[in-house]
Amino acid sequence: MNMSIPIDRLIRTRRKTIALVIERDGSLTVRAPMKMTEARIHDFVGRHADWVIKHQEQARTSPLPGSKRYIEGETFLFLGQSYPLAIVSHQRLALTFDNNAFLLAVSALPKAEQVFTRWYKTQAARVLSERILLLSTKYDLPFGKIRITSARTRWGSCSSRGTISFTWRLVMAPAEVVDYVVIHELVHMKIKNHSKTFWGRVEAIYPGYKKNILWLKKNGRYLTL
């Protein structure tokens, strides 16, 4: 008999398979096909109850990172490196980055989080566009277009129409982790599941991919503001 596990969020999309996502607060998000019945969804969750409970306990007992403070000396991640924040009085742009530090105009302090979010989104569009174009061409893995999202735990995803989505938070991670996520989604353009064939193709392109999966599992909660 399957154990009854409460579903905190049920999201229906045009996907063909069901996915279970344990959020940072331990809640359960289920992504399911549009026409899948609730009975089948609950049955699937029940059959994976041990996995859900294990990962919920891990999430709930792991300390969450505190929110960023927009003060002198606070550090912010970009491509795996931490850079300090400096508050400056004479600067035309709200936020700049000089490869050594983030420079935030004092006038932008009241809306600092929005300013940083906008900066990260801009950088994500630039960095991910460059990497996906290079890797797509190099490994003959065509795609349609890319989209930048604000997802908190889903680093990348792809649609049946060829659109690949990445969260802007991904550019906080090291470059090799960014490349792994890009390759993962590009391979999904040809292989829609997580079969042995899929992982074999990922490994053929990126033999060290497993260490990047582990990095995201360990450090993903810190890729936030």
Q: What is the C-alpha to C-alpha distance for residues 34 and 14, in angstroms, rounded to an integer?
A: 6
Q: What is the C-alpha to C-alpha distance for residues 80 and 178, in angstroms, rounded to an integer?
A: 10
Give yes or no for residue 3 having a pLDDT over 80.
Answer: no
Which is it for strands 95-97 and 9-13: parallel, antiparallel or unpaired? unpaired
Give yes or no for residue 217 having a pLDDT over 90.
Answer: no
Mean pLDDT in the chain?
A: 91
Give the right CATH number for 113-222 from 3.40.50.720, 3.30.2010.10, 3.30.1540.10, 3.30.160.270.
3.30.2010.10
pLDDT given for residue 147 in this prediction: 95
Give yes or no for residue 110 having a pLDDT over 70.
Answer: yes
Least confident of 11-20, 33-42, 71-80: 11-20
- Distances from the Cα of 139 to the Cα of 1, 4, 64, 133, 143, angstroms: 46, 44, 38, 10, 12
Region of residue 99 (phi > 0: left; psi between -120 and 50: alpha; otherwise: beta): left
What's at 58, amino acid-wise?
Answer: Q
pLDDT given for residue 1 in this prediction: 46
Q: What is the C-alpha to C-alpha distance for residues 152 and 60, in angstroms, rounded to an integer?
A: 16
- The H or E element spanning position 168 is none
Q: Are 34 and 12 in contact (CB under 8 A)?
A: yes
Picking from 159, 196, 199, 166, the residue whose alpha carbon sits closest to that of residue 182 is 166
Parse the chain into domains and list their residue ranges: 9-61, 113-222
Q: Tell me: the pLDDT tens digits for 52-103?
A: 998 888 877 766 666 889 999 999 999 999 999 999 998 889 999 998 999 9
pLDDT given for residue 63 in this prediction: 61
**Tally of CB atoms within 10 A around 23:** 14
Average pLDDT score over residue span 157-172: 92
Dig out the tokens for 2 from the structure: 């399957």
Q: What is the C-alpha to C-alpha distance for residues 203 and 208, in angstroms, rounded to an integer?
A: 7
Q: CA 56, 61, 66: angle at the middle one, nearest 5? A: 110
pLDDT given for residue 15 in this prediction: 81
- Distances from the Cα of 208 to the Cα of 76, 101, 145, 213, angstroms: 27, 31, 26, 10
Percent of the chain with pLDDT over 70: 96
Average pLDDT score over residue span 174-187: 97
Give yes or no for residue 2 having a pLDDT over 60.
Answer: no
φ/ψ of residue 42, rounded to 5: -65, -35
Of the pLDDT bands very low, low, confident and very high (cuts 50, 70, 90), residue 17 is confident
Of the pLDDT bands very low, low, confident and very high (cuts 50, 70, 90), residue 36 is very high
Give yes or no for residue 202 having a pLDDT over 60.
Answer: yes
Give yes or no for residue 24 having a pLDDT over 80.
Answer: no
Dig out the tokens for 178 from the structure: 């960014």
Q: What is the C-alpha to C-alpha distance for residues 76 and 102, in angstroms, rounded to an integer?
A: 8
Give yes or no for residue 120 having a pLDDT over 70.
Answer: yes
